[in-house]
Structures are given as C-alpha cells and as structure tokens.
Structure 1
Amino acid sequence: MRPLYADLHVHSDDTVGTNDTLYNLSYGRDVAGLDVLGYTANDFNITEQRWDQAVKLIHELNEPGRFVCYPGTEWCGNSCAGGVPATAVFGSRGGLTGVVAEAFDRASVGKALRARRTFATTGERSFASLRQGKHFMGEVFTADANAPLDYRLLGEAGWEQVDLFDGDQLIWSRNLHQELGFCAQRIRLRLGGARIKDRYRGAYWTGEIRITGAVINGFRALGLDHPEQTVWRKDATVLAFRTDTNGDTDSIEIDLSQLAGATLQIHSRIDNYVKVGDPSEPQPCVHAPTVVMELSGDELLAQSQVVEELPGAELKLSLERMTAAPLPRELQGRIELARLGLDPGREHPLFICARQRDQSRVWTSALFLTL
C-alpha cells in the first residue's frame, strides 16, 4: 500500500467557485501535485447541463496511476431547508487528506476511504500511521491488551510533539524538545486557536514581546500563512508581531544571550474579524480583548512552559523552552496499551495528533478498539 494525497472538496465557476472546472482540475493535478481530487458542486445552484459537462470532463481526466478524480456534490442544506450563509473567509490554508490505498485507481481509493485508511495534514505531504499488530487505523476490533500500539511519522520540519487521544481526551504525550534536552538560551511564543467554532472565527493578534536582562540575538517566525502576518524588531528589547489564527498555531522563536536573570513580558490585543463596519477600526474580541503574560527567565527555566488558556476554541498563548538539537524528520515508536488505563467493555477511538516545528500538524484515523 502507498499514501496518496487528496483534496476532496474542490469547486469551480459551475457553482460558487472561481475559474472553470478544467482549469481547477488541471491545477490540482499539474500544479498542486494532487493524486486524488473530488469535484464537489454546490447542490443549490448546479444546473443539469453544467453537471453533465463536468462529469464528462472528470471521466476524461481520470487516469489510473497518475490522477484519480471523482464527481460529487456538496449538500448545502439550502435545497431541503437549513444551511448557513456563505462566506469568502475561511482563514488558514487548506489541508490534505492522506489515503493509504492498495492501488492508484478509483476503486482502490474508494475502498480505502470507506475503510478509513486515512490521515489528515494541514497541507503538507507529511505522513502518519497507527496500528496494533495486524490492525490498521480505521479498523473496528477487539484489542489484545498486551500488544502495543505502533505509530510512524514522516515529515520535513522535524517532529516536536506526539499526542494520543481517546476521543476528545488526551491520554498520552511525547515532547521531543524535552527528550532532546532544553537549551538555556532558546524560547518561543506560540499563539493559537480561534475565537469560535464557526466561520469568521479568526483571532487577530497584535502585540509585543519585551525582554530585559538579556540580549535578543535573533528571532524567526514559523507557521505564518501570508505576508501580512509578520514579526519585526521594534527596538533592542522589543519584538512586535501581527498575525491571525483560525484554529492553527503560529510561533515566534527567540535566541537569547541567557534566560537566567531575564524578564519576559508579552502583551497582545485580540480582535474579531470585522464583518460589519469599518475594517480599519479594530473590533476587540469580547471574551478576551487583551492578554498579558509576565514572568522571569528563572521561572521559565524551572517550569519549561507557561500557558495562558483563553475563552474560545483552543485559544491560547504559550511561552516555552526549546531544544537546540535537530528534531527528527522520521519518528516511530510504541505505546504500551496496558499502561493507558482504558476502561474494558467499551469502544475507544484512539488516534494520534502530531506537530512539527513549523507548527504543521497531522492526524491519523482512529483505531476503534475494545478491550
């Protein structure tokens, strides 16, 4: 079996998208380098003529071994009442579906999707798998309590965090910065989450990092999506930042002369997306208009991480220590199932979520196991 990378939600000007169908499908194949693409016409404004033309084109472009393409529709609710208003603002860049298929053709990809032999990324060609013995992610089975779970990760930026979830509960973690040893001079600020779980969910951050008692030797930002998200040096002791997060995470890495004896101050305003009114006038987030964090370098040396949880959808600010060692691009390991304390007699949907240094993430499908 091999991993294929798919975008299963693609529009065109047949309905509410931009560019014609041939352009978008060709772009997906030839520019984005997708293996699999799903054309999803909106149900409320596709015409029979355009649908027939699109299906004919999709069949012509489908080429086993090179490009698998499916016709489909997006059920928007409007045709049967319900639904939500459309929006042109979705926030972060689009993700990808990873499909572990037996062959590179429609039938095999469809079989893998129905079997949940899949993983998800935040847009990168990273890879993740989870299994117990012969049972692969996506399967429903009765588990051997004495057999471990095996995971494997492949990426580009270096893996820094691996989390195992049982549904929505975090039950096991691995921090590669801690394993490789924290550096006494390197820290980072991570900003992430969203204000709400809906469209127009973005949290718009504008703030400063003030560091005294140490020299800022250098800094860099990771996870930013476009040029308007940026970090700059305001003066010798202050870094300023402007970014927005829509469920994703951005980070600012800082190299200091020393952490001991330093004072760290972070102050940020958090604004809403301006849907109504003057977009040049910020609209503060009602539940968390500002966030302030102040601590000493010695406190961070002792704690390694300080997190400020904010009202919202995983909205948080975190100041963390880092390692100076290279993070692994390939990572695999075992998790002892017997040590997880899972309740017997009920199903546990266990899945991995892992993060790279550039704040990209990957999720496996779940193992639906019962002890």
Structure 2
Amino acid sequence: MKQQWRERLGTVTLEPCAPVVAGSYQQWTLTLTVGSYGIDEGGTIKIAQRLACDMQPAQFSDPAAPAYCTVQTNGAAKLAPRFAPKGHERPWMIWCVVIDVYDGSLAPGDTVTVVLGERSGGSPGIRVQTFVESAHEFRVFVDPTNAAVARAVVDSPKFPIVAGEAVELVCIAPSQAVVGEAVEIFVKGQDMWGNPTAVAGPVELEWEGEGEVVVEGCKVSFCAPGSGRLMAAADGLRCYSNPVAVSEAAPQWHRYWGDLHAQSDATVGIGTEEEYFTFARDWARVDFASHQGNDFQVDDEDWQRLNETVRAFHRDGEFVVFPGYEWSANSPAGGDRNVFYFAEGLPIVRNSHWQIPHVPEDEVSPAHPADVFFARLARLVPRDQVIIGSHVGGRWADVKAYFDPEAHNLVEVVSSWGVFEWMLFDALDCGHVVGVMCNSDGHKGRPGAEGPGAGEFGIAGGLTCVLAGELSRAGVWEALCSRRCYGTTGARILLDVQIAGALMGAVVTDVDSVDIRARVVGVAPLEALQVYRGRQLLAEVQPSEFRDLGHSNRVRLMWSGSRMRGRGRRVDWSGVIRTTQATILEATAVSFDSAADGITATEPQAVAFQSQTTGDCDGIELVLDDGRVGRLAFESAAGTTEIDLAGLGHEPLRFDYGGLDMQLVVQRYPERVEALELTLETVDQPPGEGQAAYFVKAIQCDGEMAWSSPVYVSG
C-alpha cells in the first residue's frame, strides 16, 4: 500500500539531508516529483513541521533578509506560496508553508522545487529549530484534487538536529549527602539554546563549603556535616553546582527532584517515549518523571504503549516513573488538568476523542465538563491511586469554577508556558487545599531540563522537589499526596519550611499561634525570602546588602506579567531605556530566558532590548556614573514610564501596566550580593474563623524563584 501511495502522491528529496546544528542558519533544496494523480488547478502542497518547532517563519518577499524562500516548477502551472502558522492540523502546524497551484495543473513527473533559506540574494539562510532532535522531519502533504484534503507523501525527508558548541557548564549534585558516603556529581555542557553536550576533557571539582571532601573522578565523599557547593571546571568553562546539605546520618526526609509534565511525539512533542525518559534520567538527572500526552490525541494503542514504556523505565531506588495523561478540555469546560496514576493499567478518561474518532466512545470517555470528569474518575479509579494537577497550557485550568475537594490536588505554578502564581492565589481564594508543583510542560523532548527556545514557550521549565522517605514509587507518591513538595523555576534551591510545627502541605487545627520558620539556600545569591498568608505578604527578609541603597549607582529595572490567562498571554516589552544626564557605564541583562531576547544595543545614554514575558520577569541592571541626576525613561512596546533619579530612594518604585499582574519595578540595587542563605522567623495569629493558608517564596538575584506548598491552619 505504501508503494501505491508513493506512486500516486509523488516522492520528495532534500539536499543536503545531513545533521545540522540547532539554531544555526541553513539552506535546503526540497524537491517534490509529482505522482500519478498529478495536482489539479486549485490543489495544494504543504511543507509542515511539528507544533513544537521554532524554526524561523518562512518569507517570500525579501531576498536579503533571513528565512527567504523560493518556489519554482517546470510544470504548466503557477505557484503561490505563503507561510501559514495553522496551515495544517495538529500536530503538523505552527510552522507550515502552503503552496497553491493555479492557472494550470501539474502533470505526473513534474517537479516543484522549494529552496528554504535561499542565500543567493544575501540572506543568511533560515534559522533551524533551537532544540536537538534525532529525526527531524519536513513532512510534505499533497492535495491533488482541489478537495482541501491533503495527505502525507510516503517517506518525507528526515535528518538529525544536534547540539552546538557548549557555552556553559551545568553541574548537578544530590541536594543531600551523608558523611562518609560517596555521591556522584554530573557535569555536562550546554549550548546557547540549552541543549546538552558531553564534556570532552577531564572534570575538576572543588568544594566550597563547610568541612573537607574527598574527590575521586566525579564522585565526592564528605568528611563532616555542613553545606556548600561544588565548583566544576572542564573544557575551559566553570560553574557552580546546586547547594548540597551534608548530615551526619541519613535524614528522615530526602529531597528528590522531578518533572511530572511534558510530552513526546505521541502527541505534540518531539522524540519517542524512550528518548523522552532517557533524557529525563540521563541528561536532566531528575529522580522522578511522568508523561502527559493530550488525551484527545491518545488512542488505546498509544495508552497501552505508554504504560509499557513507564513500566520498563521505572526502577525503585534509581528512577521513579508514573503513568499519566493530560485531560485537555477547553477552559470554559474546566481547562487543562494533569492526571497522575500510581501504577500502570488504569483507564484513560478523555475529555473528547477529537483527533481519535476511530476510538469508540463508551462509559469511560469522553467525560466533560470537568465536574463530569471528576465524578467519572472517582468512580473508576480509587482515590489513593490518582493525583489531579491544575495547570496553564494552551488552555488554563479554571479552579474557581471546577475543583474536586476530595481528590489529591496540586497546582502548577511554573512551566515553559510561563509563571502562574495567580493560579495558586485563585485556589487559596476559594479555600481549596492544594500543593505546589513546577514542571516544564516541555514539547521539545527535554523533560527536566527544558529551555525556552524561540517559539511559543516563553521560559525555561520548572522542577518539583518532594520530601520523601525514600526514592520509590510509594515514597514519592506519598509525598505528593501529602503535598510535602515545593516547586522552582528550574534551580535546585533548598527550601525548608515549618509552620505551626508542621511541614509544607500539612493541615493544622486548634492552634493558639502560628510560628513560622523558613530557610533557603540558593543556587545563586539571594534577594528575598518571603512568607504569605493567602495573597498577603506577611513578612520578608533580605540580605544585609539591601539595607542602605540610597546612594547606590546601580539601578535595576524588572518587568513582568501576562496580558491575560489564555493563549494570548505573552507581553512584548521590547524597547529602550534612556537617561537624560547620567552616563551608562555598564548594562547587564537579568533573567532573560531565551537567546532570542536580551540587550540588542548599548549607547552612553540608551540601552535597547528585546523582551517578552508570560508571567515571568525580565530585567536590565544599569551602572551609572551618577545615579542621582537627570531622568530615567523606560520606553517599551507595553508602555512608557519616566522617573526622576533623584527621587529614587531606598524603596522600589512599582508601576502598574494592566493586564494580568503586568508591572515595572525600578529600584536601586546593591553593588554586590553574596548571601546564599537566608532564614526567616515570625509569629502570626490564627484566623478567628475558617482556615488560613501560609506559604513561603524565595527569590534569587538572578530571577530564579521557589514556592513551598502551603500549610493550612485553623484556630
């Protein structure tokens, strides 16, 4: 049958068809030889890539500009190409070139030649997607009959996309260690887009912390209790590890890191499920993971295969894997929910069969809206075998309208889609009892270490840390069900919280006072440690360097927020920062996620930048020759603010930009911050009625953050 369709629709060649570096500029020649059907006037040819692809959009008008493409044929017809982001159906959408045939038809044997990244007119070529892929495909579709039904040709061209040269090192150490027991330290390189590379030369490790260590290759033994971090050096690069807490004996609760939410090519991601879990285990070095394919794309065969893959990769004591899926309803019907199962063999309760109409509907699925889904899930799956996570993806979970208080519930505060602290506040406003998780929702095949790239996903992925008794499916599951977990924007920050004598996630009753103790050890210098009671900032501590800033010539501008809760949430902040009298001696980008964004030009009194946020923050720190003269103007696509530098004192100035928590913060900043550890102690009175939710938030100077699961207290 494949041979018949090859003859009918035609064949495709690609030159060159060889490995290319992620994010590089290339030129390809793709040639379609028309099949026996021919292509009628009004017919269509499409070249599409998977939804996650962030290759530059093709353009056909400017031969000297990036991504210039041309289309020609030797047949008796004309061709009209266009770039159409939704030119085909999911998952072959977002990047799609549509070529319409008009003023004639194409006969069998005619050729259509498409040059992607045509360089003869001065274009540098077209930028490849920014992430690695073992078999990247230009999938070609043909509609030969003017029926608006395009079918894939057999054997579309595939080629590998590989990592570029390493520009940084990443050193991952266990967050905890015991005196006398050797632990393995993992060091890798990363290119400018966050793709991992193996370290070519020997790795040198040096301990910066309390006590002595013994280093043997990439294994380290600690001689005394304390804390610190490792300096790693290799291939001319250096970096620090995450902090390590060393104890005399094994602690009651162990910290394990994971990414519970991402996708493979089973739905809209890239790479096989085997590649997915291999990356999480071997490159991201997470301790636990799950897979979350969109339910309306997962048929019964897919679900069985995923369960088998989970079973094959799961190893208690080494790498814990949970089966699961994403219940992907539209937001008015409840929005995206993660479904995590304790074990294999449980049913998939879909919200719809939209892209799998061949799967018969039955008493299990479809189930929507969310209240129907919750009831169906409760009937089919024991409560202790399922956890429901609410998250923001293409669709946002409406926890105010739909919530199952009898289920084990988590909310996803961070993913590659953005930072969604507002969802935690939504849940707390309603009195819901939830835990905090942060994951990637990555579609690029890099669970546990997902970068933002240059496409739909705005930031790097987050991580979830559990405090578990052991690294086993039962141990990690118990911690998640108990909400004894916290999430970060990706940094392996150490966060300790005790509120009313209980650990994060607990429900505490009958207390006379609420004693709050929190401690954070950062991966980088810290800006603040905060405790919230619901939406109210109850207390905050900062390093001593922040105490007297009135005379600092270092000024930091940070902007953040989203336009809205839905898909159009991204804010374009691109613009210029200007001074009228002060000279800019130095300008440093802070917390920009993508290599596509950042400072684009610097002049003595102006800094141009490109920036987009989706709930996260970006910023620029200026060093001025005199930080108290003249005016400072922030001229952005999102709005303009101007201040008198003489009026900028110790306290930050905050400017509301509308949208969803869109704001600009301008403040004087310390010349140098060295504090890697902060502690906070305070006391609050329990509520007279009802329940109060207390959680802790940590902020690093580089913009990385962590949130604890709340402790729920009543008097």
- Asked if TM exceeds 0.5, the reply is yes
How far is the alpha carbon of 1:260 from its aligned partner?
2.0
What is the distance in 2 between the residues matched to 1:6 and 1:365? 16
- Give the residue type in structure 2 aligned to 1:205: W
State the match for 2:679 in structure 1: 332
- SS at 1:52 equivalent: helix
Q: Where do 1:123-272 residues align within 5 Å?
A: 123-132=490-499, 134-142=501-509, 144-146=511-513, 148-176=515-543, 179-182=546-549, 184-270=552-638
- Give the residue type in structure 2 aligned to 1:267: E
What is the distance in 1 between the residues matched to 2:713 and 2:687? 11
- SS at 2:668 equivalent: strand
What is the distance in 1 between the residues matched to 2:546 and 2:562? 30
What is the distance in 2 between the residues matched to 1:24 and 1:256? 47
CA contact (8 A) 2:597 2:610 kept: yes
What is the distance in 2 between the residues matched to 1:345 and 1:82? 33
CA contact (8 A) 1:90 1:199 kept: no
Indicate yes or no: 2:386 matched with 1:38: no
Q: Give the paired residue count.
A: 347
State the match for 1:118 in structure 2: 485
1:106 to 473, 477, 483: 473
What is the distance in 2 between the residues matched to 1:242 and 1:143? 52
How far is the alpha carbon of 1:143 from its aligned partner?
5.7
What is the distance in 2 between the residues matched to 1:261 and 1:51? 64
Distance change in 2, residues 1:31/1:348 (3 Å): same
Distance change in 2, residues 1:316/1:113 (3 Å): same
TM-score (norm 1): 0.87
State the match for 2:323 in structure 1: 71
State the match for 1:17 in structure 2: 269
State the match for 1:292 in structure 2: 640
CA contact (8 A) 1:6 1:96 kept: yes
- Give the residue type in structure 2 aligned to 1:295: I
How far is the alpha carbon of 1:235 from its aligned partner?
2.1
CA contact (8 A) 1:163 1:170 kept: yes
What is the distance in 1 between the residues matched to 2:574 and 2:581? 24
What is the distance in 2 between the residues matched to 1:159 and 1:250? 17
How far is the alpha carbon of 1:307 from its aligned partner?
1.2
Deviates more, 1:227-236 or 1:193-202: 227-236
TM-score (norm 2): 0.46
Structure 2: runs of 5 or more not aligned: 1-252, 330-350, 353-366, 371-392, 396-416, 418-454
**Relative CO higher for 1 or 2, CA cutoff 8 Å, sep ≥ 6?**
1
Distance change in 2, residues 1:153/1:123 (3 Å): same
How far is the alpha carbon of 1:106 from its aligned partner?
0.3
CA contact (8 A) 1:122 1:362 kept: yes
What is the distance in 2 between the residues matched to 1:142 and 1:179? 37
How far is the alpha carbon of 1:305 from its aligned partner?
1.6
Query: What RMSD in Å do the two structures reach over aligned CA positions?
Result: 2.2
Indicate yes or no: 2:305 matched with 1:53: yes
Instruction: Give the structure with higher Rg (CA).
Output: 2
Indicate yes or no: 2:460 matched with 1:93: yes
Q: Deviations over 1:33-54 (max 9, x none)?
A: 1111011232222222232222
Indicate yes or no: 2:618 matched with 1:366: no
What is the distance in 2 between the residues matched to 1:93 and 1:177? 30
